[in-house]
């Protein structure tokens, strides 16, 4: 069999955005043959990935306002035109299917939607996925009708990629565990963020662990939680532990808050994180306040290093986020930090993108005001406990899992007094060198792709290549600094959409 021109592994928004651009290019300048593309996706659902399809709840919202979801003015206008045209149908469907959470969301947001106040609307995410999918389907119809490309879809997990003469051999495992392989001239890795490090407990324990809220799907996991708590007779033992206070954990709290029958079951919901805080809510106000005292001082003194620059930026950010993430404040501090980075050498710039940028981002993780209502309700019900410390381990006991942790401030090793029936793992991705993804592990340990400074992304050149004709798009690009790609994280749809046309140029010259 002839090798495919292109194989894309993973079919989330990174793949969808890339294919949209590949199709646009083929329509503009057709290849000298029918371009053969194969997409291999391990989930049964194509084109929507983890955030925008059925693995997320339909009530899950965009992390940023819809205005910032599409940072390109052109893309934003296209999206908003489409949304306005389909608004009645989209929102009716949402109202009918989203339960109490949707009803409350509509009450809070109808006025802003009518006023087209897009900086203050956090849309249900699946709407963004639906839009991208429709865009893709329209272009696919055109390229197929014109005979420009053929698209094959395979539902399988890719486990390995190996160079073979002039092509790559892509090995994959079907859902029935059959192992197969195909050849491809070019391969794109679009597998999303690397998996989190699993918390494994002995099989016979009586604590339920959810290592990935989106696997198989959030709603199924909430059902699991409901069952586990309903089977616990003593209400005082119905405790839930959430490890990590990232975007997923605040999303989880928001979804629970819309389900009174579930929140009623919970005795305490403890969120443990180093900061002891949930992501800050975003405030879009401008200010005349001075915000960069520490960076100003550094500039005045001169002779600074990457370490002292990052230290000053951290101090200014910590002051600015006291009452929530005030977007213009943060943009100003980051902008000024970048300005001060410019006189430093290339190694410092690489370290900033590879290591320090992410440290700064972790200081101002954002969430919309809607999500704040979820944690607010649990707080009002006196069920929410924010615990400041690092998770060490869970030990199984007859009454549930026992949390062992280290306090952030005093580095004391402690055991939490209450036991947990349910543990939800919302920690970040593990380093690629230890990844539980067979594909990532094999790529790293067979020397096919190198890990960049961040530990969470693959090194690539400005043509997105981790190796000749082996490309990366999406979160695994984070931590690269070259002429084209210079982001410390790419868990961001807008950046992915921004990069997709450049990748398409490399795929269809
Ligand atoms: C829950 C959640 C919410 C988010 N919300 C936002 C938001 O509101 N705004 C924003 O800008 N960003 C958001 N993000 C960040 C997100 O990373 C990007 O927006 C974007 O979705 C990444 O797309 P992707 O296609 O790279 O990854 P994914 O959506 O993760 O898609 C990757 C796909 O690859 C498949 N896959 C993985 N490994 C293999 C394999 N070995 N073989 C075959 N298939 C494989 C997976 O099943 C998946 O479908 C969110 C992320 C998450 C996880």
Residue 50 beta carbon below 6 angstroms from any ligand 1 atom:
yes
Where do the domains of the chain lie? 4-56+132-194+432-507, 57-124, 208-279+367-425, 282-364
Residue among 196, 191, 213, 491 nearest 365 (CA): 491
| pLDDT value of residue 321 | 79
Give residue 51 CA to ligand 1 midpoint distance, Å.
6
Residue 248 beta carbon below 6 angstroms from any ligand 1 atom:
yes
Residue 170 beta carbon below 6 angstroms from any ligand 1 atom:
no
| pLDDT value of residue 194 | 95
Residue among 358, 364, 365 nearest 481 (CA): 358
Which amino acid residue places its CA nearest to atom 41 of ligand 1? 158
Residue among 507, 500, 456, 509 nearest 4 (CA): 507
Give residue 133 CA to ligand 1 midpoint distance, Å.
14
Write out the two tokens for 233: 């007779």
For the stretch 89-98, pLDDT in tens is 999 999 999 9
Q: Which atom of ligand 1 is nearest to the CA of 49?
A: 29
Residue 374 beta carbon below 6 angstroms from any ligand 1 atom:
no
| pLDDT value of residue 326 | 67
| pLDDT value of residue 288 | 58
Extended beta strands in 267-399, E state: 268-273, 280-283, 325-326, 366-367, 384-397
Which class is 208-279+367-425 in CATH? alpha beta
Residue 51 beta carbon below 6 angstroms from any ligand 1 atom:
yes
With b for 16 or more beta-carbon neighbours within 10 A and e for fewer, the 257-271 pattern comes to bbbeebbebbbbbbb
For the stretch 352-381, pLDDT in tens is 999 999 999 888 877 888 998 888 889 999
Residue among 132, 117, 137 nearest 67 (CA): 117
pTM over the 0.85 mark: yes
Which amino acid residue places its CA nearest to atom 25 of ligand 1? 12
Helix (H) or strand (E) holding 86: helix 73-97
| pLDDT value of residue 282 | 67
Which amino acid residue places its CA nearest to atom 27 of ligand 1? 192
As a whole number of angstroms, the distance between CA 89 and CA 205 comes to 47
- β pairing state of 239-243 and 422-425: parallel
The per-residue pLDDT string of the chain (509 residues; one tens digit each, 9 = 90 and over) reads 789 999 999 999 999 999 999 999 999 999 999 999 999 999 999 999 999 999 999 999 999 999 999 999 999 999 999 999 999 999 999 999 999 999 999 999 999 999 999 999 999 999 999 999 999 999 999 999 999 999 999 999 999 999 998 899 999 999 999 999 999 999 999 999 999 988 888 776 789 999 999 999 999 999 999 999 999 999 999 999 999 988 899 999 999 999 999 999 999 999 999 988 888 766 666 665 668 999 999 999 999 999 999 999 999 998 887 766 666 778 889 999 999 999 999 999 999 999 999 999 888 877 888 998 888 889 999 999 999 999 999 999 988 999 999 999 999 999 999 999 999 999 989 899 999 999 999 999 999 999 999 999 999 999 999 999 999 999 999 999 999 999 999 999 999 999 999 999 999 98
Torsion of CA 497, 502, 507, 509, to 10 degrees: 140
| pLDDT value of residue 211 | 94
| pLDDT value of residue 325 | 63
| pLDDT value of residue 287 | 61
Which amino acid residue places its CA nearest to atom 15 of ligand 1? 491
Which amino acid residue places its CA nearest to atom 2 of ligand 1? 51
Residue 442 beta carbon below 6 angstroms from any ligand 1 atom:
no
Mutation probe of ligand 1 site: the residue of 44, 170, 493 with most atoms within 8 A of C-beta: 493
Which amino acid residue places its CA nearest to atom 52 of ligand 1? 51
Give residue 434 CA to ligand 1 midpoint distance, Å.
20
The architecture in CATH of the region 4-56+132-194+432-507 reads 3-Layer(bba) Sandwich (3.50)
Fold agreement between 4-56+132-194+432-507 and 208-279+367-425 = yes
Helix (H, G, I), strand (E, B) or coil at 285: coil
Q: Which atom of ligand 1 is nearest to the CA of 55?
A: 1
| pLDDT value of residue 367 | 80
| pLDDT value of residue 324 | 65
Residue 454 beta carbon below 6 angstroms from any ligand 1 atom:
no
List beta partners, residue 272. Answer: 243, 387
Quote the distance between the C-alpha of residue 488 and its chain's center: 13
């Amino acid at each position: 069999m002839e090798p495919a021109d292109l194989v894309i592994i993973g079919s989330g928004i990174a793949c969808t955005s890339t294919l949209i651009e590949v199709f646009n290019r083929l329509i503009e300048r057709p290849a000298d043959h029918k371009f053969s593309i194969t997409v291999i996706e391990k989930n049964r659902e194509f084109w929507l990935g983890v955030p925008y399809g059925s693995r997320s709840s339909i009530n899950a919202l965009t992390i940023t306002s819809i205005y910032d979801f599409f940072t390109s003015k052109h893309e934003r206008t296209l999206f908003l035109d489409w949304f306005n045209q389909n608004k009645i149908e989209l929102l009716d469907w949402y109202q009918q299917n989203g339960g109490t959470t949707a009803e409350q969301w509509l009450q809070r947001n109808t006025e802003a939607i009518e006023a087209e106040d897009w900086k203050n609307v956090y849309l249900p995410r699946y709407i963004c996925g639906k839009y991208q999918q429709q865009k893709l389907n329209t272009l696919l119809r055109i390229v197929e009708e014109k005979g420009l490309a053929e698209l094959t879809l395979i539902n399988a997990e890719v486990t390995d990629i190996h160079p073979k003469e002039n092509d790559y051999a892509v090995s994959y495992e079907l859902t029935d565990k059959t192992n197969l392989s195909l050849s491809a001239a070019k391969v794109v890795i679009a597998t999303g963020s690397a998996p989190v490090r699993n918390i494994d407990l002995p099989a016979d324990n009586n604590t339920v662990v959810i290592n990935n809220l989106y696997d198989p799907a959030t709603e199924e996991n909430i059902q699991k939680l409901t069952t586990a708590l309903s089977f616990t007779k003593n209400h005082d033992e119905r405790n839930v532990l959430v490890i990590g206070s990232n975007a997923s954990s605040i999303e989880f709290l928001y979804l629970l808050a819309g389900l009174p029958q579930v929140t009623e079951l919970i005795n305490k919901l403890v969120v443990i994180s180093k900061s002891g805080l949930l992501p800050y809510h975003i405030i879009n106000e401008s200010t005349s306040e001075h915000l960069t005292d520490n960076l100003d001082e550094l500039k005045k003194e001169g002779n600074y290093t990457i370490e002292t620059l990052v230290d000053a930026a951290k101090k200014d950010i910590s002051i600015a986020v006291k009452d929530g993430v005030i977007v213009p404040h943060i943009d100003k501090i980051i902008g000024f930090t970048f300005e001060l980075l410019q006189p430093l050498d290339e190694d410092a710039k690489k370290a900033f993108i590879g290591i320090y940028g992410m440290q700064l981002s972790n200081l101002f993780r954002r969430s919309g005001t809607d999500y704040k209502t979820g944690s607010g309700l649990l707080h009002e019900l006196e069920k929410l406990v924010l615990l400041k410390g690092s998770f060490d381990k869970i030990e199984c006991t007859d009454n549930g899992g026992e949390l062992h942790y280290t306090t952030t401030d005093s580095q004391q090793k402690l055991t939490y007094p209450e036991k947990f029936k349910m543990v939800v793992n919302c920690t970040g991705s593990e380093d690629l060198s230890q990844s539980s993804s067979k594909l990532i592990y094999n790529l790293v340990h067979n020397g096919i792709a190198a890990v960049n400074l961040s530990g969470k992304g693959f090194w690539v050149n400005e043509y997105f290549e981790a190796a000749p004709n082996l490309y990366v798009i999406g979160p695994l690009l984070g931590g690269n600094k070259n002429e084209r790609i210079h982001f410390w994280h790419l868990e961001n749809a807008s950046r992915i959409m921004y990069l997709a046309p450049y990748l398409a140029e490399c795929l269809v010259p």
